[in-house]
């Protein structure tokens, strides 16, 4: 499973970073940066929550 981020859609709300700071950062431009595209099995539930929490649907799992 991989995380995909649509940086053009991201508005920098930071919900993903708040929920999973080891995988997401909001950069100086106010858009999401993936620290890792791969999702460990132990983190799948947390990552799904972070993806679902994005108010502009800039994140998805593949």
If one counts the domains in the chain, the total is 1
Reading phi first (left if > 0) and then psi (alpha if -120 to 50, else beta), residue 54 is in beta
Q: What is the pLDDT of residue 53?
A: 96
* CATH number of the CATH domain containing 37: 3.30.70.20
User: pLDDT per residue over 20-59, tens digit each?
Assistant: 999 999 999 999 999 987 888 888 999 999 999 999 999 9
Model-level pTM?
0.86
Full residue range of the structural domain in which residue 45 is found: 3-61
Q: Are 36 and 1 in contact (CB under 8 A)?
A: no
Q: Which phi and psi angles does 59 have, rounded to 5°?
A: -120, 145
Say how far apart CA 34 and CA 45 lie, in whole Å: 17
């Amino acid at each position: 499973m991989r995380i995909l981020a649509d940086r053009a859609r991201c508005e920098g709300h930071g919900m993903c970073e708040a929920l999973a700071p080891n995988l997401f950062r909001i950069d100086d431009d106010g858009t999401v940066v993936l620290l890792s595209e791969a999702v460990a099995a132990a983190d799948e539930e947390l990552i799904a929550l972070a993806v679902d929490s994005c108010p502009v649907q800039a994140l998805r799992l593949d």
